[in-house]
Amino acid sequence: MSLIRNGCALSTRRGFLGALFSALLALALFDSGAATAQEVKQIKLTEKQIESLLAAAKGMAQLYEGANPDKPDPKVDAQAAALAKKSGFASLDEYDNVWGNVSLVFFGIDPQTKQFTEPPERLKKEIDSLKADKSVSEAEKKEELADLAAALKTAKPIQFKENIALVQKYFDKLAPLMQEQDSRPAD
């Protein structure tokens, strides 16, 4: 079962860091050395895919709510595959890949200004911000900085720049889905 369907999210008290880092980890747009994350192939998104994602996401969240990520349920996976197809996707894997591509762009968009920052630059800014944050304990800061530094080593820019404008267009409709995804407990 993919990390995206699992609702993998790092819930830290630092909301943005949790959102950004969970998106980057869960998407694994990074090289194949990312051991625990499923690699997401960057694709050029279409409006139809975004609309299908919006149609399917709430149902997917309900299907996987309370599911044990260590013990996949074939019945739930079959229901999810049927929902993905009903929503216009060829397969559950296509749904996951679209979700991953949308998430990667979404978490690079500033909610206030709607401006996009590429993943490597966003990580650099977050590292600088975390280093300056006096409210985070040194132990927590050290752990988070190590995680961010590891992600930065393999972070890649968005391959299809058209995806940025498309996700920006649907940002307000996607926001509740992404916030729900980010609020789920970590695996």
Per-residue model confidence (pLDDT) at position 68: 85
Residue 138, both tokens: 């040194």
Per-residue model confidence (pLDDT) at position 154: 87
Per-residue model confidence (pLDDT) at position 40: 72
- pTM of this prediction? 0.75
Within 10 angstroms of residue 26's Cβ, the number of other Cβ atoms is 28
Per-residue model confidence (pLDDT) at position 167: 97
DSSP state string for 32-91: TT-SSSPP-------HHHHHHHHHHHHHHHHHHTT--TTS--HHHHHHHHHHHHHTT-SS
Per-residue model confidence (pLDDT) at position 33: 33
Per-residue model confidence (pLDDT) at position 181: 62
Tokens 């397969």 identify what position? 91
Q: pLDDT 10s digit of each residue in the chain, 187 long?
A: 344 443 333 323 234 444 444 444 444 333 333 333 446 799 999 999 999 999 999 999 999 888 888 888 999 999 999 999 999 999 999 999 999 999 999 999 999 999 999 999 999 999 999 999 999 999 999 999 999 999 999 889 999 999 999 999 999 999 998 887 654 444 3
Q: Where are the domains of the chain?
A: 3-182
Per-residue model confidence (pLDDT) at position 123: 92
